[in-house]
Amino acid sequence: MDGIHDLGGHQGFGAVVVEQNEPPFHAPWEALARSLMYLVMTKVPNPSSGAFRHAIERMDPAHYLNSSYYEHWLTAAATMAVERGLVTHEELEERAGGPYPLSLPVRTEQITDPPPGRSRFAVGDRVRVRQWHPTGHTRCPNYIRGHVGVITRADGEFSIPDVEAHSTQRVNEATYSVRFEADELWNDGQPGVTVNVDLWDSYLEPAGWSEATPTT
């Protein structure tokens, strides 16, 4: 889905801050939040990393930007627990002693007829990322949609997250590392600068000429 969580390639948010010798957790509650998420995942039917990520994606934008990494996890765990009937929102707020924000409702329908998993491309193929804006979960970043790149590596088949987040079924599909020229993405005149993005087959469509095609 399109949302505030999809910050890749966007301007105005500053550089990524790298903390040297960063510890696994900055406070004890972060370890508890991580454990809580794994506990919730064992209690809900059809658990998947796609559903977990989608619960984070659905956070209110202001809440998302003003909360930490593990608060995202905590919000997702609470949201999934309420949506699966493990606890009520009222019970959470009673235990918290005040308002307890949850993620916004799911906006897409459950997938009952998933697409077939595909493996259409090879290393060297030029591909274009589909230009579409799903209301459900996807792992395809917005900033590369509609742009052309070249497949540089085939990484095997993995479950399509767009399906597993909204279905009881699992569909395995080919994944690739796709190289994009920076100038193709941002038109900023950076010759020789490239970005590689890992993408599922269903995010892509043929773009014509292939580096693997012999030329005369």
pLDDT band for position 14 (cuts 50, 70, 90): confident
What pLDDT digit, counting tens, does each position of 177-199 carry? 999 999 999 998 888 999 999 99
Whole-prediction pTM value?
A: 0.89
Question: In which residue ranges of the chain is CATH 1.10.472.20 found?
Answer: 28-96
pLDDT higher than threshold 50 for residue 212: no
Q: List the single range of 3-7, 70-74, 88-92, 102-106 with lowest mean pLDDT.
A: 3-7
Domain at 28-96: CATH code: 1.10.472.20
pLDDT higher than threshold 50 for residue 133: yes
What pLDDT digit, counting tens, does each position of 18-73 carry? 999 999 999 999 999 999 999 999 998 888 999 999 999 999 999 999 999 999 99
**How is domain 125-210 classified at the architecture level of CATH?**
Roll (2.30)
Question: In which residue ranges of the chain is CATH 2.30.30.50 found?
Answer: 125-210
pLDDT in the model for residue 195? 95
pLDDT band for position 209 (cuts 50, 70, 90): low
Place of tokens 């395995």: 172
What pLDDT digit, counting tens, does each position of 80-97 carry? 999 999 999 999 999 999
